Amino acid sequence: MVEKQELEARFKELTGTDRAGIMLVLIHGQKEEKLFGQIINRYLRKPVLFYGMDQLILKTDEICERIGTPMLSMAPRFLQEEEKERYQELSRKKNELEKMAGDWHRMSDLLQAQAPAAREILEIQVLFRGNATMQGRFRCPITGRNYISFRSALELQRMLREVEIQFCTNNQPDSKVPGLAGSGKILNRKKGRVL
């Protein structure tokens, strides 16, 4: 579990910045060697659930699109028109976000409510979204207090895979994984029902 002092120190660092692209990733557990947890961003009212590092990266990009920063340098490509429309709808919804949602106090409240159940906290700062990918910096228990820059989502994927391998090596698998995104419910995969 995450120490209260670590959480307070991390929040204190974040209050000194106005970067909207900061994602705090709470790792709650693993299932089938995939990590699951929540993404917290100061512009969102509720945490965003993810299952697997691939979904974490995609949802991070979708959060950036929804809050409107950092801006894309080029439009992403999709195989299906429906998926393209769904993604474009995210940026149209950014006007609906409350300005009050952008304060660090809301994020602090979410963290204090969610962090005690987290086994690890990762920090992803998306600084740019250029050339159909993202660039930024990453911090996790492996790096300590140091940030490691990533030049593409592929580099971030590799770093997250290292975290996933270490976490899965050091921890036992969980039988509970996140349910439907945003539902706040946990799905027991073995029994196929929501807890």
Q: Which three-class secondary structure state does DSSP give residue 192?
A: coil
Are 136 and 127 spatial neighbours (Cβ–Cβ below 8 Å)? yes
Query: Would you place residue 136 in the very low, low, confident or very high pLDDT band (cuts 50, 70, 90)?
Result: very high
- Tens-digit pLDDT profile for residues 16-63: 455 778 999 999 999 988 999 999 998 888 899 999 999 999 999 999
| DSSP assignment letter at 19 | -
Spatial CA neighbour of 41 closest among 16, 14, 13: 14
Are 33 and 149 spatial neighbours (Cβ–Cβ below 8 Å)? no
Least confident of 94-98, 124-128, 151-155, 167-171: 94-98
Query: Would you place residue 170 in the very low, low, confident or very high pLDDT band (cuts 50, 70, 90)?
Result: confident
Are 23 and 126 spatial neighbours (Cβ–Cβ below 8 Å)? yes
